[in-house]
Structure 1
Amino acid sequence: MVCPLAADKVIGKSTMIVAKDLPSTKAAEAKKFNEEVKEITKGIQGVEIDVKAQFGAGDQYDTITGVVPINGGDPINLEHKEGEVWLIDFWATWCPPCQAPMAHNQEMLTKRKADWGDKLRIIGISIDQTAEPVVKHVEAKGWADVEHYHRAGSSCSNQYGIKGVPHVILVDTKGKIVYKGHPAQRKDLEADFDTLLKGEAITGEGTAPAEGAGDSAEADPGFSALDFAAVNKEVDDFEEVGKALQQDPKVQEAAKTLMRAFCVYLLREKFNPFTGDTTGKFENYRVLVGPSASIDAIKPILEEKVKGSFQVVMQEHPMG
C-alpha cells in the first residue's frame, strides 16, 4: 500500500512472485521453468515470475556493455584485464543508503591511490534516469577519483540480477567474481583489495557461489510467523490513514517541496516448500528526500498518525 504524500490517492497492489536466483550453470533449467510457468499463468493478473540464472560469486566476470561515461561520449564496454582488481558499485543519487558507500570509495582512493595505481579500479554505475544529476552530484561531493558511468541502455542490471541499490561486485585479478551483494557486508574493503592484489582469496558472507542457495528448510532472515489476519487488517486500514496524511495541511505544504515523499506499507509473505510454513515481514517505509526543514516537518506527523505492528524503515535524505 503506497501513500504518495503529495497526492490525493492511496494505491494498493497485491502481487504473487515466484523467485529464485540460480548460478549461471543452471541457465537451461531456468529457461525451461520460465517457459512452462508462463503458459500456466497466462492471463492471470499480479503474477511475477523471477527465476533466473545470473552471474555471481564464483563465476568469471561477464563483460558489462553499453554503459556511458557520465560526462558524455559513446557507450563503452567494461572489459576486465588480468592483474586488475575491480569494485563495481551500482548506485543512484536519490538513494540515501548509497551515499556513504560511494563516499567511502572516494576516501579509499584518496588514501591509497598511490599504493594501488592502475591495478585497482572502483567503478560506479548509476541507475539514475539521466546522467545530468549524477554529474552535478559527483562534482558537489568531490567523488572524482571513482570512475563514473550511467547505466543508460545497458542490460547490466538484469545481467547481474541487481534488484536494488547499493549493490557491489568485487572482481579479482583473474577476472573471477569473489563477492556480490550489499557493500556493508564487507567490513574492510581496503583490506579486501590488498588481499586480492596479492593473489589471495577473501572469505565471508557473499563470497560463496550461489549453487543450491535457498534449497533448505531455514527461514529467510527477517521473516517470522505473523498473525496475517491482523496484519492484513492493518494494511486495509492504512487507506484511511494515508488519506488523512494527504489531507493534513502541514503535510501538504512540506510534501510539495520534497523530491520524494512516500509512506508505504509493505507486507511480504513467503512460503517455504520444504517445511510448508508461511512466514512474513511487515514494514513501513518512510521515504523523504529534499529540504531538511520539510523532512523535519513531516517526520513527527508520521510518528503520531502512523502506528502499527510493523517495523519502521526510515529512508531520509536531507538536501540543504
Structure 2
Amino acid sequence: MSEPLGSAVQLDTAEPPPAPVVKPPPTTEQRVLPLRRPGRWIASAIVLVVVAQIAHGLATNPFFQWDRFSYWFLRPTILDGLLITLEVAAYSAVLGLIGGVVLALARLSRSPVLRAVSWVYIWLFRSVPLIVVLLFLYNFSALYQTLSLGVPFGPAFFTFDESRLATDMVVAVVGLSLNEAAYAAEVVRGGILAVDQGQHEAASSLGLPKGYQFRKMVFPQALRSITPNYVNQLIGLIKGTSLVFYVSLLDLFGSVQSMGSTYPGDIVPLLLVATTWYLILTSAVSVVQFYVERYYSRGALRTLPPTPLQKVRTGLGDLRARVRRETAA
C-alpha cells in the first residue's frame, strides 16, 4: 500500500562504523648497499699503476742525476736568477693589470676614438709573438736614439737618452707589460660585462660619480669573474719570463742555460731544477688564487668553499665517526 501524500520520509543518518586500525608491520633496520661501479675501480687501478711506473722511472733512472739536481737546486746562481724572475713577473703583472683596466675601460667607453685605439692596441699585441716584442724593444735604440716630450711638430721640452733608460730589466718589464696588458684588457672587460645590468642601473640611480660606482660597486663584483681568468694569465706570465734570456737578462731560465753551457753534463738536472722552481711558483700563485676567489665569493654563495685545512679536519672527523659506528656495531 503506497504512503500517503505529505508523509515525512525518514532517512538513515547513522554514522558508519569506524574502520579498523591496521598496525604496520614492525620495521627492521636495513643496510643500504652502494651501487657497485667496477669500471671506476678498474680505471683507478690502471691510473695508479701508470703513476707508480712513472714515479719509479723518475726515481731509479740514472739519467736524471738526482745528486746533481740537489747540488744545483739552491746554488746562488740559480737563486739570483729566481729573484730576477720574481721581480720581472711582479712588475709586469702589476703594470699589465693596470694597463688592462685602462684598455678595458677605453673599450667600453662611448668615445669612438678611445674604443678604436684600444681595439687596435689589443689586436696588435695579441697578434705579435712576445719574443718579437722583446727583440724589437731590445733593438729600439737603433730606431730612436733619443726620446723627447714636447709639442707635436714643435719644440721638445724634455729629451731622454734611450740607451741609458733601456736597461735589460727595463726592456724585459716593458715588453712583458705591453703584452700582458692586451690580454688583461679582455679579461677585465669580460668580467665587467659579466656583472648584471641591473647592478649598473642601480649604481646610476643613486646619483654617485662614475668613478665611485666603478670602484665600489661594479669592479668588486667583476673580480669574481676576473680573478680565475687573470690568474691563468699570471701563470702564463711567470712562464713567459723565460724569454727575457734573449734580451741578455739572466733570469731563472737564463741562469740554467748559462750553467748548462758551462757544464754540459749537467744539462738534464739543471732543466729539472728550472722545472721544479716553475712548479713551485705556479703552485704558490694557485694557492693565492683560491683564497682570493674565496674572499670575493662572499655574498654570492650561501656557504664558502672549505679551505684545505677545513677539508682535512672534516675528513678526520668523518673517519672518527665511522670508526665509532663500526666499533659500536
User: Is the shorter-chain TM-score for this pair beyond 0.5, marking a shared fold?
Assistant: no
Q: Which has the larger radius of gyration?
A: 2
Name the TM tier (shorter chain): under 0.3
Calculate the TM-score normalised by the size of structure 2.
0.21
Higher strand share: 1
Higher helix share: 2
